Amino acid sequence: MTVTQEPETNPIGFGRMQRKEDARFVRGQGNYIDDIVLPGMLHGAILRSPYAHARIKSIDTTAAEAHPKVKAVITGALLETLGLAWIPSLSADVVAVLATDKVRFQGQEVAFVVAEDRYSARDALELIDVDYEPLPAVVDAKRSLDPDAPIIRDDIEGKTNNHIFDWDAGNKEETDAAFAKADVVVTEEMLYPRVHPAPMETCGQISDMNKVTGKLTIWCTTQAPHAHRTIYALVAGLPEHQIRVVSPDIGGGFGNKVGIYPGYVLTVVGSIVTGKPVKWVEDRSENLMSTSFARDYHMHGEIAATSEGKILALRTKTLADHGAFNNTAQPTKYPAGFFHIFTGSYDLEAAYCEVTGVYTNKAPGGVAYACSFRVTEASYLVERLVDCLADELKMDPAELRLKNFIQPEQFPYTCKTGWEYDSGDYPRAMRLAMDIAGYEQLRAEQVEKRARGELMGIGISFFTETVGAGPRKHMDILGLGMADGAEVRVHPTGKAVVRLSVQTQGQGHETTFAQIVAQELGIPPLDIDVVHGDTDNTPFGLGTYGSRSTPVSGAAVAIATRRVRDKARLIAATMLEVSPDDLEWEKGKWFVKGDPSTAKTIQEIALAAHGSMELPEGVEGHLDGSCVYDPPNLTYPFGAYICVVDIDPETLQVKVRRFIAVDDCGPRINPMIVEGQVHGGLADGVGMALMEVIAFDEDGNCLGGSFMDYLLPTSMECPSWELGETVTPSPHHPLGVKGVGESATVGSPAAIVNAVLDAIGVRHADMPLTSAQVWRATEGRPFRTDLAIE
Amino acid sequence: MQVPAPVEYERATSVDDAIAKLERYGPEARLIAGGHSLIPMMKLRLARPEVLIDINDLTDLAYIKREGDELRIGAMARHRDLLESHVAFEYYPIFRDAEEVIADPVVRNRGTIGGSICQADPSEDLSAAFAAVKADMVIQSSSGERIVPNPEFHRGPYTTAVGDGEMLTEVRVAIRPGCGSAYEKVERRVGDWAVTAVGACIQLDGDTITEVGIGLAAVSAQHFRSAGAEDILRGGPATEEQFAAAAAAAAEGCNPSSDQRGPADYKRHLARVLTLRALRRATARARGQEA
């Protein structure tokens, strides 16, 4: 048996190593949806609504159908005959696949053309004649419940307003009482504007319905291939064993690729209608204008405290703009996601959270962009409110936080809205961040600069995440429990394969999960193949989002691998002619207690397990294990972030000078991958805090539909990140790990906003803090960032 | 899916050939050089030319040189050429200032000077820079060459003096002794169009301003220029008070509109701040106090 020789830098287990998948990515040999070409494949293009709200009077497809290269033109009317004009949303609503009665947002799908090539498909869109009757649109969530607001969802019987849901958490009476006795109450209106994950690869799908075998094969940009397959089976009535969903390489997801988009369904219909494989890949504007956006939360926040700065309670009344259809992805029980963890990292007497969801004439979505099911909004709200309180009390914001943290000995800590925080040491992380930053010196520098008329700001954000959804008894998506499976198999020669339900979009799963198996079994990561993204070849599970892969599937893999190890022990005992109880494990081998030289390596055991040796009673041979992991609780990573900005006093342009990020995600399986995840999330934070927004004008025109209008940060806007770590293992996870994919996206925006507002001495202004908005804030006239700037 | 509408493609071998092709195909033909504005507009089907005439082979127009008392920039010079040109920098550092903040290296490698100013986007940086240095534009047709002074070149947003069957071939800038120039821009993010940008060119005789140009981008200044601010400064002393008065006039004289880059009042504020800064830097350069 050979063990692949690894450079010393490659650990057999946890540790820093280069990502296994990068060899193909850096050579341009990734295999994305648009790289896949099937024999006879046709191409689809979608006709989209130019109006935000209009009645469809008629659609004439005659000229498009006459185009010599067009194979099919599909409209809502055709889908109605198949029962597919509307499909269930992820949140107890329905979504139009193709509009039948009305269009409800600009960019909504109206017709689908299938042609021999994508150019002809696009040309044929112009041959479709749609007669629209424009209707008044409502894009301002704050006006959506006005009595005279146009009713968007008149498809829902009896619907007379744009209200979706009211939801609350926490205790209203206790919270009111805490506010009543407080010395200080600070109130602020905050918008977390609509932003978009904007993955580098847009969404797309190829569907291939084989009419002979009846098998439907789908290649899709999905973060959740198994969920997609089951939903196709449930919604379209297709037999589940006849559906195969393949997620090839995915160029970024960030929650944008969780749900089933109309375009996906249309490729399936297109393939059924034409009998050929049909590919559809959306362009950048389609991605920005029609697919899952994020946030759009109008938050009224209140914080109550004593005059000494003891925080007593938090309260919020929030308006959630879900767009034209309620299609947010989150566990069924939680229509506002995990927003009620707005209690943050503080030991409170009471908290109360109310959320009202509304329809507007905007694209549907809301849960995306590494938001951890709305922890992003929650964390921003509480971290801004704490800064507002510090400003009111004239206290240092670091001191105020240290004074109010949940203390290490209070864990597990049940917060006032019901979350059980599993573990944490907040003061330690905060102090480490302050040490790295040189916090006292920075404050001294700020005083000097202020005296000279220079604008410098220091902002802090301390976030607590809740990730790894989740316990089956509490959490499901469309009735599917959020437990995930994993299978580990050791081949006869000691190499291994691990099969996952979760789907990497760039996070490095092929490395991380190999390292988990390596850690538990002593097989080098390079000897372990990680298989994912193919429902025919992997166990069931709900996929990758909400930072759940390591907390859920990581645990499943660890337990499956331990089962392999336990089986190996029985085989090794037979090989060594000793009792299993006499064996002790050292990474990579079972040895006889007190006699380390008498041992069998995992590779030797694997061969024996597949060989002719007589196996112990009850052992079936081969070397494999599996697990379906139902997490007992969520995990609670946390972090202390400090941002330093310099602002031009005349133009008010913001320069992020430094950003210190101390993250505690438990033990780090591959620190390099963790750091990469944090770097990306911090850049997201710069984007959201300073430039990213999808606004709409009063007619409902999307003002962020291209990369000229929707700005993503570049390396020029980002400082050299300064990272630190503390390690507080999760007590209930087999590896102690907590998940980190979304931590920096959740935690960083508040730090940057707090720094900018600290610099200019303004209590609050909404993101994105473009230089125009910062200038207006200094003038006391910040503008609405979600509407057209006037 | 963003793909252009069907379009014919021709490749020009010379200026005369390009002009002949423009005449042959008429007003629905478009010259394409770098293509960094035209191609995206075609993909969005906002532009639908019937014929593209590719002039990338006209490398004899890719020069930047001094000829007599003029700096001459060929229409096919790329942004990167202007950014890195020593001769341009020697006489007009404003061009390096501007090029450093135009788009990104990928666009600058390919986008051309002629293409930029013929696109005549109201936020275009070089249009403001050329307004500040009072460049002349050389336009060629089958009947010969004509020279259009800068203010007459821009006829409004996306419209220039270049007519059917004509092409811009060269930009000429007089070399002026005792001259300093600078460009100041505020953008939302690196690579973005200007929220507001201002270029200034100052010619000094001792402490007296003998000639001055102030160009503004993205604020709907007529011909990308503030004639009012120039009038205040011309013939007067190069002092802070004068600069402040000129900056106020530049802000007053432009007509910015609100859009997602910022509200009009902020753009007007920037017009003042950036005019002042550009004047200070241009003056320091004229005095040899700054590179």
Q: How far is CA A579 from CA A572, A574, A592, A615, in A?
A: 9, 8, 9, 13
pLDDT tens string A215-258:
999 999 999 999 999 999 998 889 999 999 999 999 999 999 99
Predicted local confidence at residue A172, as pLDDT: 98
A653 in contact with B, Cβ within 8 Å: yes
Q: CA angle at residue A462 from A457 to A468, to 5 degrees?
A: 140
Q: Which of B2, B192, B262 sits opposite A283 (nearest CB)?
A: B2
Which span out of A90-94, A96-100, A474-478 was modeled with the highest average pLDDT? A96-100
Residue in B186, B259, B273 nearest the CB of A789:
B259
Give me A268's structure tokens: 């399936």
Secondary structure string (H, E, C) spanning chain B: CCCCCCCEEEECCCHHHHHHHHHHHHHHEEEECCCCCHHHHHHCCCCCCCEEEECCCCHHHCCEEEECCEEEEECCCEHHHHHHCHHHHHHCHHHHHHHHCCCCHHHHHHCEHHHHHHHCCCCCHHHHHHHHCCCEEEEEECCEEEEEEHHHHEEECCEECCCCCCEEEEEEEECCCCEEEEEEEEECCCCCCEEEEEEEEEEEECCEEEEEEEEEECCCCHHHECHHHHHHHCCCECCHHHHHHHHHHHHHHCCCCCECCECHHHHHHHHHHHHHHHHHHHHHHHCCCCC
Instruction: Residue A691: list chain B partners with CB under 8 A.
Output: 188-189
What is the mean predicted confidence (pLDDT) over A104-119? 98
A717 touches chain B (CB under 8 A): yes
Q: How far away is chain B from the Cα of A50, in angstroms, using its nearest Cα?
A: 13
Among A425, A421, A405, CA closest to A413: A421
The closest of B141, B168, B157, B214 to B73, measured between CA atoms, is B168
pTM: 0.97
Please, what is the angle between helix A602-609 and helix A555-576, to 10°?
80
pLDDT range class, residue B1, cuts 50, 70, 90: low
Distance of CA A446 to the CA centre of its chain: 36
Residue A8 in this model has a pLDDT that exceeds 90: no
Mean pLDDT, range A87-104, rounded to an integer: 95
β-strand pairing of A163-170 with A216-220: unpaired
**Contact present, A128 and A47 (Cβ < 8 Å):** yes
Structure token pair of residue A588? 């990579």
The structure tokens listed for A598 are 């008498």
- Report pLDDT for A545: 93
Of the candidates A515, A28, A550, A539, which has an alpha carbon nearest to the alpha carbon of residue A249? Answer: A28
Average pLDDT over residues A611-625: 94
Can you read off the two tokens belonging to residue A12?
A: 């057999």
Whether A771 sits inside 8 A of B195 (CB atoms) is yes
User: A181 Cβ partners below 8 Å, 6+ apart?
Assistant: A312
Tell me the count of A-B CB pairs closer than 8 A.
72
Pairing assessment for the beta strands A216-220 and A204-209 based on DSSP bridges: antiparallel
Query: What are the residues facing B213 on neighbouring strands?
Result: B201
Cβ-defined contact of B190 to A716 (cutoff 8 Å): yes
The Cα-based distances of A699 to A64, A146, A359, A787, B223 in angstroms read: 29, 17, 15, 11, 32
- Of residues A16, A78, A318, A363, the one with CA closest to residue A192: A318
**Would an 8 Å CB–CB cutoff place B192 in contact with chain A?**
yes
Six-digit token string for A382 = 């509480």
Residue tagged 């997609």 (tokens): A228
Question: Quick check: A471 and A542 in contact, CB under 8 A?
Answer: no
Question: Do B70 and B78 contact (CB within 8 A), yes or no?
Answer: no
Token look-up 């006037």 returns: A790
pLDDT tens column, B20-73: 999 999 999 999 999 999 999 999 999 999 999 999 999 999 999 999 999 999
End-to-end CA gap in chain B: 47
Specify the DSSP class assigned to residue A534.
B
CB contact under 8 A, A691 and B186: no
Q: Which residues of A touch B1 (CB under 8 A)?
A: 45, 118, 121-122, 281-283, 286
pLDDT score of B151 more than 70: yes
Q: How many Å lie between the alpha carbon of A714 and the closest alpha carbon of chain B?
A: 8
Using a CB-CB cut-off of 8 Å, the residues of chain B touching A709 are 260
Model confidence band, residue A276 (pLDDT cutoffs 50, 70, 90): very high
8 A C-beta contact, residue A721 and residue A679: yes
* Averaged pLDDT for residues A396-407: 98
Determine contact: B3 vs chain A, CB below 8 A: yes
A411 contact partners, CB below 8 Å, separation of at least 6: A421, A422, A423, A424
How far apart are alpha carbons A655 and A597 in whole angstroms? Answer: 61
Whether the CB of B185 is below 8 Å from some CB of chain A: the reply is: no
Write the pLDDT tens digit of every residue in B156-195: 999 999 999 999 999 999 999 999 999 999 999 999 999 9
Q: What is the share, in percent, of chain A residues with pLDDT greater than 90?
A: 97
Which residue from A123, A651, A716 is facing B6, i.e. has the nearest CB? Answer: A123
CA of B6 to nearest chain A CA: how many angstroms apart?
8
For residue A38, count CB atoms less than 10 angstroms from its CB and return exposed for 0-12, middle for 13-18, buried for 19 or more: middle
Whether A790 has its CB under 8 Å from any CB of chain B: the answer is: yes
Chain A positions touching B191 (Cβ under 8 A) are 714
Q: How high does pLDDT run on average in chain B?
A: 97
Q: Are A714 and B190 in contact (CB < 8 Å)?
A: yes
Q: How far apart are CA B134 and CA B127, in angstroms?
A: 10
A312 pLDDT band, cuts 50/70/90, is very high
pLDDT at res. A328: 92
Residue with tokens 């002979």: A212
Q: Any chain B CB within 8 A of the CB of A212?
A: no
Domains and CATH numbers, chain B: 8-54 (3.30.43.10), 59-174 (3.30.465.10), 179-286 (3.30.390.50)
Q: Is A121 on the interface with B (CB under 8 A)?
A: yes
Do A279 and A362 touch, CB atoms closer than 8 A? no
- The string over B65-101, giving b where at least 16 C-beta atoms fall within 10 Å of a residue's C-beta and e elsewhere, is eeeeebbbbbbbbbbbbbbebeebbebbbbbbbbbeb
- Do A379 and A746 touch, CB atoms closer than 8 A? yes
pLDDT in tens, A22-57: 999 999 999 999 999 999 999 999 999 999 999 999
Q: Please give, rounded to a whole number of angstroms, the shortest distance from the CA of A591 to a CA of chain B.
A: 60
Question: What would the mean pLDDT of A185-196 be, rounded to a whole number?
Answer: 98
Chain B environment of A286 (Cβ under 8 Å): 1
Mutating which of B45, B104, B189 best tests the A interface, going by the most A Cβ atoms within 10 A? B189
How far apart, in whole angstroms, are the C-alpha atoms of residue A663 and residue B52? 54
- Cα–Cα distances (Å) from B67 to B70, B87, B96, B175, B274, in that order, read 5, 11, 20, 10, 32
User: pLDDT tens-digit profile of A706-751?
Assistant: 999 999 999 999 999 999 999 999 999 999 999 999 999 999 999 9
Which of B189, B192, B262 lies at the smallest CB-CB distance from A789?
B262
Strand order of the sheet with strand B8-11? B8-11, B51-54, B29-32
CB contact under 8 A, B274 and A651: yes
Cβ neighbours of B263 in A, within 8 Å = 772, 776, 783, 789-790
Q: Say if CB A14 and CB A670 are below 8 A apart.
A: yes
Compare CB distances from B189 to A691, A695, A775 and report the shortest one's residue. Answer: A691
pLDDT > 70 in chain A, percent: 99
- Could you report the per-residue pLDDT of A515-537, keeping only the tens digit for each? 999 999 999 999 999 999 999 99
3-state secondary structure of A644: strand
- Sign (positive or negative) of CA dihedral B275, B276, B282, B286: positive
Asked whether the predicted pLDDT for residue A7 surpasses 60, the reply is no
Residue A2: pLDDT band (50, 70, 90) is: low
Q: Do A340 and A350 touch, CB atoms closer than 8 A? A: no
Over residues B205-233, the pLDDT tens digits come to 999 999 999 999 999 999 999 999 999 99
**How far apart are the C-alpha atoms of A304 and A188, rounded to whole Å?**
12
Q: Is A233 on the interface with B (CB under 8 A)?
A: no
Average pLDDT, chain A: 96
Whether the pLDDT of residue A9 is over 90: the answer is no
Measured from the Cβ of residue A750, the count of other Cβ atoms closer than 10 Å reads 29
Record: contact A772-B5, CB cut-off 8 A: no
Task: Indicate if ipTM > 0.95.
Answer: yes
What's the pLDDT band for A482 if we cut at 50, 70, 90? Answer: very high
User: How close B262 gets to chain A, by Cα (Å)?
Assistant: 5
Q: Which of B36, B198, B266, B275 is the best mutation test for A, with the most CBs of A within 10 A?
A: B266
Contacts of A783 in chain B (CB under 8 A): 263
In three-state secondary structure terms, A647 is strand
pLDDT 10s digits, A407-430: 999 999 999 999 999 999 999 999
